[in-house]
Chains A and B, each alone.
Chain A
Amino acid sequence: MAKYVIKRLLLMIPTLFGAAILVFLLMRAIPGDICYLRMAGGGASVDLDVVRQCRVDLGLDRPLWVQFWDFISGFLVGDFGKSMWTGQPIFHEVALRFELSLQIAIMATAVSILIAIPLGTISAVKQDTWVDYAVRTFSIAGIAVPSFWLGILIILGILITSKAWFGQSWMPPITYRPIWVDPWYNLSMLIWPALATGYRYSAVATRMTRSAVLEVLREDYVRTARAKGVFETLVIRRHALRNALLPVITVIGIEFAFLMGGLVVTEQVFNLNGIGKLFVESVENHDYNMTQSLVMLVVAIFALMNFLVDIFYAWLDPRIRYVR
């Protein structure tokens, strides 16, 4: 097992290194740079001397490989550098926004589990009845509905219901407060984006639960349990669902990894200042340092989640350790 863990851990290195090269080159392939952009924003005429000085200050005049080495070596010792746009340390800029995005991602995952497992199980147990069709339609719709549109509809729904019930429109708060400071305020702000994203991500997990439960229900031990007169609810809860959960957990784990990079649209709709928004801003501002750090953060989370899922699998099923 230890050998497998080490091997799997080492496999993360090329992914991270590759992502570092890719983002480094991609950013520099975008025409224009931050210095030019900054000057052009201020006035009509661009003073080329100022632009040149700015490039020297930010180290953009150095050869590419020196810049790349700077980026990689900084990362290895945990120094993420400063944002080229604001001049603030990146760690500081990212920390608070990351907290917000991470909370939405966790809440969205919770929402998708709460939707997927009960619905998927019911759908499998009542296979080929109207319940099954309804659940399947609901979950296929989840993949089809754009999360930004769902977000707009949720906001519209909140506006209309609050007006009808309380006489005046209520909108979720916009400024972020951590959950341990003001839990009620925090939740009333973040539950909506979590619902919009969670529904979308529940779709795949629901289908996975359904097919996993269907498979397990055909197993001999389920038949045995039924034959010895165990109540049907117990058969499903203890015998079927427990054994079916493994692939579901995998899917949810992998989706969580995708979620961290996929919050851009949701944050836009709900006007949240998370890492998704920071991402778009940093690419548009040509803030190389910031984009590089954010990409590495998201890719690292992705690689780590995949690693954990694989380890979890190998731990449960010893055969995997030897195959790969």
Chain B
Amino acid sequence: MTTAEDFSVAERMPARASRLSAALRFARKNMLGAAGALVVVIMILMAIFAPVVTSYDPTANDFGVMLEAPSNEYILGTDQYGRDLFSRIVYGARTALLVGFLSAFIGATVGLVLGVASAYFGGTFDLIFQRFMDVLMAFPLIILALAVVSIGDALPIGDTFKVILAITIPFIPRCARIVRSSALAIREIPYIDAARACGFGHARIILRHMVPNVMAPYLIIFTASVGQAILIEASLSYLGLGVQEPTPAWGLMLRGGAEEYAESAPWVAIFPGLAITLAVFGFNLFGDSVRDALDPKLRQL
């Protein structure tokens, strides 16, 4: 009675072990990618265990300790409101990861479906769709994001989700275009004709037969976009258009105080920027090695 279960477990065990050793082999061969993955993992752990790692509330003002230099008590010093910089950076990782992953995921996924559909239907639909994507590509990214954030003011969604929406929309055409070019080649492969001959509907052919075959470019774009999304979120927050105070966000930490006190309290300007750089660096390195592993031809991405 239990044989079937036992069998499946026994079968899965070696697979998992070999997957681990494959990952280790990959890491040894690909030092930069492994370094990137390490940064990503540390960042995720930091975000999850933020209350454990830090000993101060990231949003609590303490005017007794404004602009304190890094010390044993405040590892990275404090800002102009006496908030612990280390706590704010650790909690800021939550904002960065949430915005980074969600906007990259939604942008890449919507782009995937639209790109595949455009390649599959072809003809006038494809032509019009391509022109529309051209327009979105030519449109200045920050301005598009700014307009979306302003429109989002009327919608009943939080600041963070407004930012996610604003970053997602410019991502869609970039993903759709790359996926479309891969999907165009797949459309010519006979199994699509076969599926059509079987009488399957368009939705089924797109989702079951085409989408799984463009997973490589999709994953590449997804991983490459996370870092970019974190960077755009930081830029928007720096401009005051993104996440709002007192939510801890790296870009926001560089707004105002950082420039004003740059000379007397350089730590306020240095550490949040370092956090952004490291995070984006890690995600980019990781994304690069994913690309090299899945499809080295897309190197120009």
| Chain A residues packing against B (C-beta within 8 Å) | 14-15, 18-19, 22-23, 26-27, 29-31, 140-141, 143-146, 148-149, 152-153, 155-156, 159-160, 169, 208, 211, 260-262, 264-265, 268-269, 276, 279-280, 283-284, 291, 294-295, 298-299, 302-303
Contacts and interface: CB of A to CB of B under 8 A. Distances in A.
A293 B238 CA distance: 25
Given A156-B266, A159-B262, A303-B138, A149 B239 contact: no
Contacts of A29: 147, 151
Interface in B111-147: 131-132, 134-136, 138-144, 146-147
DSSP majority for the A interface? helix
- Which of B138, B241, B266, B285 has most chain A Cβ within 10 Å? B138
B276 to A, nearest CB: 5
Given A31-B153, A159-B262, A299 B142 contact: no
A84 to B, nearest CB: 16
B254 A19 contact: no
B92 interface: no
Given A19-B139, A268-B239, A146 B151 contact: no
8 contacts: A19-B138, A22-B136, A31-B150, A149-B273, A152-B273, A169-B263, A261-B140, A268-B239
Contact of B254 (A152, A155, A291): A152
Contact of B135 (A19, A140, A276): A19
A146 B131 contact: no
Nearest to B259: A152
A141 B277 CA distance: 8
Contacts of B206: none
Given A156-B263, A159-B263, A280 B138 contact: no
Interface stretch (B60-68, B71-79, B102-110, B227-235): B227-235
Nearest to B127: A14
A148 B238 contact: yes
A146 B281 contact: no
B255 to A, nearest CB: 9
B140 A140 contact: no
B16 interface: no
B135 to A, nearest CB: 4
Contact of B239 (A15, A152, A264): A264
B238 A18 contact: no
Nearest to B266: A156
B18 interface: no
